[in-house]
Structure 1
């Protein structure tokens, strides 16, 4: 699993869900906006504390998590 510059998990913040560092914004929220068709520019208008790089890293995080989950499923079977 790769290291992330903009994302952290802390059991004391948002129940340990991954958030953008320095915020309480969970990455799933931004991923939901993207999947609903919002552009990065639209998201940044509503969340100016984020950067385009942080949003792209959230997509990478989701991809890495999905790959890891698939590997765990293969191991379990």
Structure 2
């Protein structure tokens, strides 16, 4: 089964990207990680978010960063 991660709806928090099925902004996860909190703490604080969603989001973010880095490097040379 495919994990739905992201939802954007102008009626939910003015279109802020949230975890699918919740009103929890994606940015909250990165804020937690940036301050040294664990994924477990995040999941405890935002019970509507599933571990699978967090993992999929981080995997997708990594792929985006890797592909963006390649594109930026190509444009610098």
Q: TM-score, normalised by structure 1?
A: 0.68
Q: How many residue pairs get matched? A: 71
C-alpha distance in structure 1 between counterparts of 2:5 and 2:43, whole Å: 16
> For 2:7 and 2:49, how far apart are their aligned partners in 1?
17
CA RMSD of aligned residues (A): 2.2
Q: Which runs of 5+ in 2 are unaligned?
A: none
Q: Which runs of 5+ in 1 are unaligned?
A: none
Residues 70/6 of structure 1: CA separation in 2 closer, same or farther (3 Å cut):
same
**Aligned match of 1:36:** 35
For residues 75 and 19 of structure 1, do their structure 2 counterparts lie closer, same or farther at Cα, with a shift above 3 Å needed?
farther
The alignment's TM-score, normalised by the length of structure 2, stands at 0.68
Distance apart, 1:44 and its partner CA: 1.4
What is the alpha-carbon distance in structure 1 between the residues aligned to residue 48 and residue 7 of structure 2?
18
